Amino acid sequence: MTTTELTPVLVALQAGQGAEDVADVLDAAAELLGKGVLDPAIRILETLDVTRLGIVASGALAGLPLAALSGAEGCLAEVTTVEYLVGARTRRSVSPAAGGSALAVVDPSEGLRFAGCEVAAVRRYASDVSVRPRTPGSAAGC
């Protein structure tokens, strides 16, 4: 899944003239993201019994209601409580949650300069955070 593939979906979403148009576009977004993003995320969240998920979406993903999009496994909002965050650092006032933790910092184009910093910020709230694979220099600029 690339920004190039999502861009037409976002353009169509902005041009939507009514609820039916928006629903059709969101169905197309769910189709694009289901197999590669939504379904694996739901399986991970269920396996780790995660009760809260903070989403830091950027680029094309920031324009989509990720928690409401349904893949074959359902939608994120059916599995856990979903929060949309500007960054992991914005969640300072919340104490560490009991139970399992999961973190995915997705930066395939290496264009998210501060993505590596998000890992350190999340570690303040969840003691069991693993990162694989780690991109060399990903914490630069923190």
On the 0-12 / 13-18 / 19+ scale of CB atoms within 10 A, 123 is middle
pLDDT in tens, 120-131: 666 666 666 666
Examine residue 96 and state whether it is found in any structural domain, yes or no. Answer: yes
Q: How many domains does the chain divide into? A: 1
Which pLDDT belongs to residue 78?
92
Is residue 137 scored above 60 in pLDDT?
no
| Residue 37 belongs to some domain of the structure | yes
Average pLDDT over residues 68-88: 87
Query: Per the domain annotation, does 142 fall within a domain?
Result: no
Domain that holds residue 33: 3-123
132: tokens are 């694989």
- DSSP 3-state assignment of 13? helix
Tell me: the pLDDT tens digits for 54-66?
888 877 788 888 8
Determine, yes or no, domain membership for 82: yes
> Is 103 domain-assigned?
yes
Strands 70-71 vs 74-75: parallel, antiparallel or unpaired: antiparallel
Residue 111 lies in a domain: yes
Residue 102 lies in a domain: yes
Residue 33 lies in a domain: yes
- Asked if residue 35 has pLDDT above 70, the reply is yes
H-run or E-run covering 78:
helix 76-79
